[in-house]
Every structure is written in structure tokens, then in C-alpha cells.
Amino acid sequence: MPRRRNPKDWISTTAMAEALGCSIDHLYRLRDIGELKKGTHWYCLNEKAARATYRWHRKRVEQVLGISGTLKLSKPKDSLTWLCERQIR
């Protein structure tokens, strides 16, 4: 039987961005480049909707960003990577 999500552990995109002190766009960038994994760090409430709603696992996201510090890249390869590294520091 699949494990159920405890709704208390998952917060909205706005709340996650506020908790981290970053923009919503920055969260989406971390998701898009694979730093934050679907099912572990975030999930989509309504995947088929025109405008998706996400939930984020605050402790897991903070743990990943706290451990990595940056996106594990020594030299930025493009402007998106540079921007992500810059906002995490």
C-alpha cells in the first residue's frame, strides 16, 4: 500500500518561498533543474489543471539546500545556473 502524505508536512509555494527567503520563481528553477525531486521535495495537487498547484516538504527542501549550499557546481555554465547559485548563497 502506498505511503500517505501528512498534510501538515507540506506547505504552499508562497509559504515555502517565504520560509527560504527566496522568490517563487527560484523554487520553480530548483525544481526544473532537478535539485528538488518530485515526490520527495514537492508534488502537484492538480497536474491536469491549466495552472498547477504545488506543495513543498519544508524540512526536506531545507535539508537539501543546507547540505549542498550551492548547486554542486564549481563553475556556472550558464546564466540560469549562476542565478540559482547566487540566490542560494
Within a domain: 2 = no
pLDDT at residue number 76: 46
Share of the chain above pLDDT 70, in %: 70
Within a domain: 3 = no
Mean pLDDT value across the chain: 79
Within a domain: 74 = yes
* CATH code: domain of residue 55: 1.10.1660.60
Within a domain: 1 = no
Structural domain count of the chain: 1
> What are 67's three cell numbers?
547540505
Structural domain boundaries enclosing 59 = 8-88
pLDDT at residue number 47: 84
pLDDT in tens, 8-46: 889 999 999 988 888 999 999 999 999 999 999 999 998
